[in-house]
Structure 1
Amino acid sequence: MKAYIFPGQGAQFTGMGLDLYEKYPVAQELFESANEILGFSITDIMFEGSAEDLKQTKVTQPAIFLHSVVLGKVMGDGFKPDMVAGHSLGEFSALVANGSLNFEDGLKLVSQRATAMQKACELKPGTMAAVLGLEDPIVEKICSEIPGIVVPANYNCPGQLVISGEVEAIKLACEKLKEAGARRALVLPVGGAFHSPLMEPAREQLAAAIKNTNFKAPTCPIYQNVNASAVTEPDDIQMNLISQLTAPVRWTQSVQKMARDGAGFFVEVGPGKVLQGLVKKIHPEAEVASAEIG
C-alpha cells in the first residue's frame, strides 16, 4: 500500500515552486489564487525571497502547504494514496490530498494557524531543543522532573525527539539530558514553543476557525499527529487538528502504525526529503521516494 506523507515547517527553500509555476497551468492557477486569498504575493517570496524572508511563520507555513498541494495536483492521475499523514503543518496538506478539505479552506486555515502561532509566541516566549541518542521514556521522565514547562513535542524517529517549552526550562532539560547520556541536546533556532501548553492561545483561536470550516469524508484515512491512528470521521479529524497545536507530533508512532496497516511505500509530497529519512529510520524495510511529476 502507498502512503503519501507531507512535510512541515523547516522544509522551505528559496525558489520553491517556481518550476511548477512555469511548467503547469494548474499550478499557476493555484499560486495566483493563493496570492488573492492571502492578500500578499507569496509567490514573490517563494520564488525570489531570501531564506530570511521565507523563515517568517506567516510565510513559511502557507509556502510549504502550497508547494505540497500544488505538487499533488500536478501529479494528476498518478496521485493515488491509500493513506496519508503530515508532520505538524503537513497535516493540512494531507487533508487536502485526501479530500477532507478543499484548497481554499486549507490555505485559509494554514494562514490563520501561522498568525495565531506567531501571536502565541509573542505572548509567551519559548523555544525547542533536539535531543539525540536517548530512548523516548528517558526523555519523557527527565522533562517531567524539570521545574517549569518542558514537554516532548516531536517524536521524529527512534533516538530523535524534540522537546518544547519555556526557555529556562529547556536549557535546564538540555543539561540533564546530556548528563543522562544524550548524544546531543541542542536548542533550536525557532520562534516559539510549538506543540506545548504555551500554544494554548493559538489553539483557542484556531479552534473557532476549524469548527467553522466544512470538512468532508476523506477518500482515504489520515494518520493524525495527535493519536497516530487512522481517522476517517470528519468530526474526529477536526478535533484532532485542534488538539495538535498543544500536543506532541507522534510521527514515529504514525509511521509504525501505517506500516502495520500495510504501508510499504512512502511518497513524500512537498519540499525536501526530511520525512523520507525519518521513515527509513523508523521502518527500514519501507521503500521511500519523492513525488514524481511528468
Structure 2
Amino acid sequence: MVVFRLGRIRTPQGPGMVLLLPFIDSFQRVDLRTRAFNVPPCKLASKDGAVLSVGADVQFRIWDPVLSVMAVKDLNTATRMTAQNAMTKALLKRPLREIQQEKLKISDQLLLEINDVTRAWGLEVDRVELAVEAVLQPPQDGPAGSSLDSTLQQLALHFLGGGVSSVAGGALPPGPADTLEMVSEVEPPASHCSAGPSPKPPVAEGLLTALQPFLSDALVSQVGACYQFNVGLPSGSQSTYFLDLTSGQGKVGHGVPDDTPDVVVELAEADLRALLCRELRPLGAYMSGRLKVKGDLAVVMKLEAVLRAMK
C-alpha cells in the first residue's frame, strides 16, 4: 500500500494491517503479483510488402510500488501502448519469412526494448510471446504480386461505370481525355496496344486524380488540411501534387497548392499507389521510413479518413 500523508508520499506499508489517519492520509493499493495482458492482433506491413495480422502475449510484474504510482498515471494503458509500438517498429523492419522463422528471437528483442521503457515506471516485463495470427497478403514479389494491378483496374472501372468485359477486351469506353489517361495507366500493359505519339503521364497523376470523386464537404470538415505530395518517379525525377481539404468539397491537382500547405509529404510512386489501394497505412509507411513528413505528423494521420472514404 502506497500512502500519501497531506500529499506527501510515505514509505510503502504492508502487507498486513496499516494504520491510516482519517482525512489526512490517502492510499493506493499496488498488486505485486505477476500479471499478463495481450496485445490485440493488428494489421502490419512487413519490409517486403506482406500484410499480416500479429498480436503478442505479455507477462509483467511491479518491482517498485512507489515508482509505479508516481512515474505514470495509467500504468496498464502505458504498458500496452509501449508493447504495441515496440512490436510495430520491430516487424516493419523485417520481411515476412524472417518474422515467421525467428519469432523467438524477435520476442526476446521486444522484451529488452519494452523493459528499457518500463523500468523507469517500476515495472519489469518477464515474458513476451509473439503470435502471427494470419498472413492477409503475400509479399509483393510473391505469386500474388499482380493483385495490386487488379485492384487499380477495379478502381478505374468504378469511375467509368463500365463493365468488366469492356476493359478486359482492350476497348476503352468513350469519355474525357483525363479519364482515358487514367485507365491506360492502371490496366496491365498489353502487347497488342499501339504506342501513342505522346508519352504517358506518371501513374501518380492518374491515382491522385482518382481521388476527386471521393471528395466531399464531410471529408473537408473532418480533415481540414492542405497536403503537398512530392512523389519520386522511377526515372529519378520528382513530381508535385496537392490535396486541398480546407474549403468547399476539396480539390486535388498537379503542382503546388495556392496556399501554404499544412504538411509536405515525400514518398515514392509505388508507395503512393499502395496507400491509395489501402495496402499500406500512413502510420506504417512513416514508421518504416517510406513516407517522410515535413510538418505535423498528426495532420498526416488524418489521411486515413481519405483512404476510408475511398474504400
Instruction: Tell me the TM-score normalized by structure 1.
Output: 0.26
**Structure number with higher helix proportion:** 1
**Structure number with higher strand proportion:** 2
- Which protein has greater RCO, CA pairs closer than 8 Å, 6+ apart? 1
User: Considering only CA atoms, is the larger Rg found in Structure 1 or Structure 2?
Assistant: 2
